[in-house]
Amino acid sequence: MYLMKDITRDGNPVLRKQAEKVQFPLSKEDRELADKMMEYLEISQDPELCEKYQLRAGVGLAAPQVGESKLMAAVLTPPEGDETESPFKDIIINPVIISNSVQQAALSVGEGCLSVDKDIEGYVPRSDRVTVRYQDVNGEEHTVRLKHYPAIIIQHEIDHLHGTLFYDHIDKENPFSRTSDEIFID
């Protein structure tokens, strides 16, 4: 299983690379990578196991964060999201955002990242809703429409696959600037 020592940290060039397309059927290595990434999220969201293994809880994990420059990420949205948000759990492979809302949204507490040890404050403006096309571990194509927190998580993960980190989106001069037409998610 992955521990915090296995997570690549900001400064490691793998986090700034464009990841490579994944081929199907998945190799044994890629299948294990997928399983271990989802396992990390599940263990990290269990309070006892999270404490036992000294993990940071995560709702997503992208392959470059475990040193693999591949277009693959695990997403496991927490169960306590509001009822109108659909929970989402899957390994997303070769994902593409095929449409996004004009409506912008940001988490009111800002974002964090397992690969960034320090807290970087500021709003991370994103699309409130996105439609994502991806392949699952069996190569099946899916098209999903997510909104609010799950949409923000999947955009954070897809950013990792293209070498982008959350703080790249924060306005350096005015990290908490608000525009009138964006919504804030608690």
Please identify every residue annotated as catalytic: 157
Closer residue to ligand SB7, CB minimum distance, 9 or 31: 9
Contacted by 153, from ligand SB7, Ni ion, none: CB < 5 to 8 Å by type: ligand SB7
Closer residue to ligand SB7, CB minimum distance, 138 or 162: 162
In whole angstroms, give the CA distance from residue 133 to residue 60: 17
Terminal CA-CA length for the chain: 31
Contacted by 112, from ligand SB7, Ni ion, none: CB < 5 to 8 Å by type: ligand SB7
What's the burial of 80, exposed, middle or buried (CB within 10 Å: 0-12/13-18/19+)? exposed
Closer residue to ligand SB7, CB minimum distance, 1 or 139: 1
Q: How far is CA 93 from CA 67, 121, 149, in A?
A: 16, 30, 20
Task: Fill in the per-residue mask, 26 to 65: x = in contact with Ni ion (CB under 5 A), - = not in contact.
Answer: ----------------------------------------
In whole angstroms, give the CA distance from residue 133 to residue 113: 23
Smallest gap from Cβ 25 to ligand SB7, in A, equals: 26
In whole angstroms, give the CA distance from residue 51 to residue 45: 10
Q: How far is CA 121 from CA 31, 61, 104, 140, 159, in A?
A: 36, 21, 18, 38, 18
Give the binding site for ligand SB7 (CB under 6 A): 58-62, 65, 107, 111-115, 152-153, 156-157, 160
Contacted by 59, from ligand SB7, Ni ion, none: CB < 5 to 8 Å by type: ligand SB7
Closer residue to ligand SB7, CB minimum distance, 28 or 120: 120
Select the residue interacting with Ni ion from 113, 137, 146, 152 (CB under 5 A): 113
